[in-house]
Amino acid sequence: MQNIKMLMLSFTMALLVAGCQVTIPPANNQSVNNSGTNATTLTILDAKALKGSEKVSVHAYSYTRGSDFCSRTIALKFSSELPYTQTLIAMRNRALVTGANALSITGWEEKNGITTFTGHFFDCHSKKGL
């Protein structure tokens, strides 16, 4: 019983360090199957800016994609019920922990209180021209 409590505490602390408080939905939630991989949705209840996330800048995708100074590190589909500001904080946190210093957003849609979009994370050696 003590080992289970320690494991749960470790898991909770790891999630808090990532900058978001999350809950895992019940097992009956549908899995998302994009490009042959299964992923379970995490629901983010709150987002607080991580130290350093203010250095992750947000730019138009056409500029980051076309920049000779930027390399895309990852693209992440994202859904959020959080207000606009907290949604952007959560994305900047995720960009920071992946090593990115720039972020672009495509496919932004708001429907029934849920915001969905794709975040493109970039590692830019220079942000000149962005």
Percent helix / strand / coil, the chain, rounded to 5 = 30, 40, 30
What is the reported pLDDT for 1?
A: 57
Distance CA 5, CA 105 (A): 38
What is the reported pLDDT for 5?
A: 54
CB 113 within 8 A of CB 103: no
Q: What is the dihedral of CA 103, 111, 23, 42, to 10 degrees?
A: -50
Distance CA 102, CA 59 (A): 7
46 or 109, greater pLDDT: 109
Model confidence over 55-68: pLDDT tens digits? 999 999 999 999 99
- Give the domain ranges of the chain: 2-124
User: Over the chain, what is the mean pLDDT?
Assistant: 76
Q: Where are the alpha helices (DSSP H) in 18-129?
A: 61-66, 84-97
The yes-or-no verdict on residue 2 having pLDDT over 60 is: no
The total number of residues written for the chain in this structure = 130
* pTM for the model: 0.65
Share of the chain above pLDDT 90, in %: 42
CATH assignment of 2-124, among 1.10.150.80, 3.30.1660.10, 3.40.50.1970, 1.10.260.40: 3.30.1660.10
The yes-or-no verdict on residue 33 having pLDDT over 70 is: no
